[in-house]
Amino acid sequence: MDFFDHQDIARKKTGRLVLLMSLAVISIIALIYVLVLVVAFQMAGSGSTSVGGSGFNGSSTPDIPYLGLLAATTVGVLVVVGGGSLVKTSQLAGGGKVVAESMGGRAINTDTTDPDERRVINVVHEMAIASGAPVPTVYMMDHEDGINAFAAGWSLDDAVIGVTRGCVQQLSRDELQGVIAHEFSHILNGDMRINLRLVGVIFGILVLSVIGSVVMRSIFYSGGSRRNNKEGGGAVIAIFFLGLALYIIGYVGVFFGRLIQAAISRQREFLADASAVQFTRNPDGIAGALKRIGGFASGSKLQNAHAIEHSHMFFGNAVGSFLGGALATHPPLPERIRRIDPSWEGGYPQGQTAPRGASLAQGALGFAGEAAPPPVSQPSPAMGFSPGAVTASAVEQIGELTPAHLQHAQHLIESLPSVLRTAAQTSTGAQAVVFAMLLDRRDPKVRSKQLAYLDSPSLGPVAALTQRLAGAADELEVEQRLPLLDLTLPALARLNPQEIEQWQTHLDALIAADQRLDLFEWALRQVVWRHLVAPERGGRGGKRKLTASREALSVLVSVLARIGAANAREAEKAFEAAGEQVGTLGLELLPAESVSMGRLTGAVDELSGVEPRGQRSIIAACAAAISADRQVTTRESELMRAVAETLGVPVPPLLPGQRLI
C-alpha cells in the first residue's frame, strides 16, 4: 500500500469507529430509557407528581408518554455524549501539542546541549527530511522513567513526537531510531487522527458517569431522602438510583469503548513495527528497544494521570492491562518481538543500559553536536553521498522511508554550513536564516534595498544576525534550501502568534523588494504559511472529489508544464502528459499571462481539500508535467515539494539518479 491507500484506510477505520461507537450509544440509550421508565413508574406510583402532566387516570397503570420519554432520553444522551465529545475534541484542536503538554511533556529546544536530547532531536530531523514530512516538535517527559514514546496530531503540520526520559537514556541510537521510525509510521499512515477521535468519543461516554456521580452526591449531601421520607421519598430514592445507574452505564460504555480502542490500536502497532523495519532496514533497532522494555524494571509504564486516556498512542503499554489483556492497547511484547525476530529465544537484557554513543565532548561532531553515525555508503563528489541504484520512483515512495533516504538526509544535513545549521536551532537564528535565504543573489540594487529594510529597529538582533549569515546563505546549493527551511520550523514554532505575524510581515516585505515573486519565494512562503500561520488549512485531507476542482488543477498543471519548457510545444507536451494521469477530467492549458502566483496559491489551497485518491492523481499529474522532458531540474523538484507540502503529501527528496514518476 502507498501513502494514499493508508489515508483511505485510516478514513474507513474512522468510519468504522463512528459506527461502533454509534452502536454503543444506541445501547446506552436503550438502557437509560428502561431506567427512566422505572423511575417514571416509581414517581407516578408515589403520587408525588404526574408524568407529562397526566398523573393517574384512575387505573392501576400510570399514564406515561412512552414515545415522549424515548425521544427525551435519546436527545438527552446524544446531547451529553455528543457535547462531551465535542468539548474534548475542541480541547484537542491544538493538535499534538495539547496531548504532549497534558502528559507533562516539555518541548525540547532544538539548540539543546543535553546529549540525550540532542540525539533524539537529530534522529527526528533525519526522519522528517528523509520522508518529506515537516519536522515535528519533540517533547520530553522528564519525570517518566519507563521506555516509551508517542506521536500525536491531526495532520502532518501539527504533529509532535514525545519521548520519555527513560527512552532516551536507556536505548542505543539504533534502538531509538527504531522507536522514532515506529512513530513516524503512525504520522505517515494517518493513525494520529483516529487516536484523537478515540479520546474525544470515549470522554463523551464518560460524561454520563460524571453526571450520575453528581446526581448521587447531590441527593446524598442534600439529605433529601431523610426530609422526604413521607412525601415523595420514593421519587427521591428513584432519582438516586437513576444517578447510580447512569454512573454504572457510563463506565460500562467506557469499558466497551476501551475494547474498541484496544482492538483498533493493536493492529496498527503491528503495522508500525513492520514499517519501522522497512524504514531503517535494521530489525535489531526496534526489536532491541522492545527487548529492553521487557528487561527494564519500569518497562514502558507511565505515571501521568492522563496515561490511560492516551494509552493507545504510545509505543508500548503505558498502563497495566486487565481482564487477561483484553483492554491492552498493544499486542503482547513477546508476540511483537517474534514477528520482527523469529529467532528470539525469549531472553531480555537485565539491568543494562545500551551504549548511547559519544557525548558532546567526544569524537568528531556530526549532526549539531552528536557523534556522527557510522557511514553506510561511499560519498559522491557532489553531495557527499551516493545511494546506489534506485529502482522505485519518488512518487512511488511517497509516505515511505528507506535507508537510502535516511542516508541522504544525514549527508544533506552534514553538508549544510555549520553556521546556518546552528542558527536554525534558535528562534532568533531561525528567523535570520530564512531572511538570509531571501536576500537577492542576482541584483545588487534589490539586495541593497532588502538590507536597508533590515536596518529597521523593530527587527532587533534578527537584522544583525541576518547580515552575518548572508554569505553562508549565498553558498547554499538549491537542493539544500528547503531542507534547511524545514530545520527552522520547530524553532519558529516557538514564537507566539503575535511574533509570527510580525515576522511574516517582514518576510513579505523582503519578498516584495523586487516587485516580483519567484518560484523559490513562493515555495518558501507556502511552507511558512502552511506550517506556522494556518496549519489547519489543509493537510488533514478532505472529501472533495477531484472533478469539483478541475479548474484549480488546470492552474497548477499549467504552471508546472511551462516552468521547464523551452517553447510552447514542449509546454503542450508536458501538459498532455499530466492530463493522461487524470483520465477524462478535461484539463485546460491556461495562457501564461492568465496564471499569477496569487492564483496558483488559491488553486493549491483548494486542492488541499481533495480526498486522498484525488490527491494521488494530483501528485501524479504534477510529476508527469515536470518529467515530460525526461529531466527534472532542481527548481522543478523544489516547486514540486512545496506544492506537495501544501497539499499535506510527504514527498521524499529526489535521490541522485532517481525517477520522479
For residue 351, name the pLDDT band (cuts at 50, 70, 90): low
Q: Give the separation between CA 242 and CA 222, rounded to whole angstroms.
A: 16
Give the per-residue pLDDT at 150: 94
Residue 659 has pLDDT above 80, yes or no: no
Residue 655 has pLDDT above 90, yes or no: no
Region of poorest pLDDT, from 267-276, 294-303, 334-343: 267-276
Q: What is the mean pLDDT of residues 507-531?
A: 84
Q: 539 or 503: whose pLDDT is higher?
A: 503
The Cα diameter of the chain in Å comes to: 100
Give the per-residue pLDDT at 94: 81
For residue 355, name the pLDDT band (cuts at 50, 70, 90): low
Beta carbons of 307 and 104 less than 8 angstroms apart: no
Residue 225 has pLDDT above 60, yes or no: no
Per the prediction, the chain carries an average pLDDT of 79
Residue 289 has pLDDT above 90, yes or no: yes
Give the per-residue pLDDT at 167: 94
Region of poorest pLDDT, from 142-156, 236-250, 268-282: 236-250
Give the per-residue pLDDT at 222: 64
Q: Give the separation between CA 235 and CA 492, rounded to whole angstroms.
A: 61
pLDDT tens by residue, 357-406: 433 333 333 444 454 444 433 333 333 444 555 567 777 778 777 888 88
Beta carbons of 564 and 575 less than 8 angstroms apart: no
| Separation in Å, CA 65 to CA 26, 210, 320, 533 | 20, 28, 46, 54
For residue 457, name the pLDDT band (cuts at 50, 70, 90): confident
Beta carbons of 191 and 10 less than 8 angstroms apart: yes
Region of poorest pLDDT, from 195-199, 495-499, 505-509: 195-199
Q: Is the pTM of this model over 0.95?
A: no
Percent of the chain with pLDDT over 90: 20
Q: What is the mean pLDDT of residues 613-627?
A: 86
For every residue of 552-607, DSSP letters joined together read HHHHHHHHHHHHS-SSHHHHHHHHHHHHHTTGGG------GGG--HHHHHHHHHHH
Q: What is the mean pLDDT of residues 598-602?
A: 84
**What DSSP state is assigned to residue 392?**
S
Beta carbons of 396 and 405 less than 8 angstroms apart: no
Residue 340 has pLDDT above 60, yes or no: yes
Return all residues near 292 (Cβ < 8 A) that are at least 6 apart.
147, 170, 171, 175, 348, 349, 354
Give the per-residue pLDDT at 538: 46
| Residues recognised as catalytic | 183
Sheet bearing 160-164, strands edge to edge: 106-107, 137-141, 160-164, 149-152
* Pairing of β 137-141 and β 149-152: unpaired
Give ∠ CA 489-509-418 in degrees, rounded to 5. 40
Q: What is the mean pLDDT of residues 186-201?
A: 83
Give the per-residue pLDDT at 601: 85
Beta bridge partners of 138: 161
Give the per-residue pLDDT at 115: 92
Residue 242 has pLDDT above 60, yes or no: yes
Residue 152 has pLDDT above 80, yes or no: yes
pLDDT tens by residue, 57-75: 445 556 667 888 888 888 8
For residue 267, name the pLDDT band (cuts at 50, 70, 90): confident
Burial class (CB in 10 A: 0-12, 13-18, 19+), 643: buried
Residue 473 has pLDDT above 90, yes or no: yes
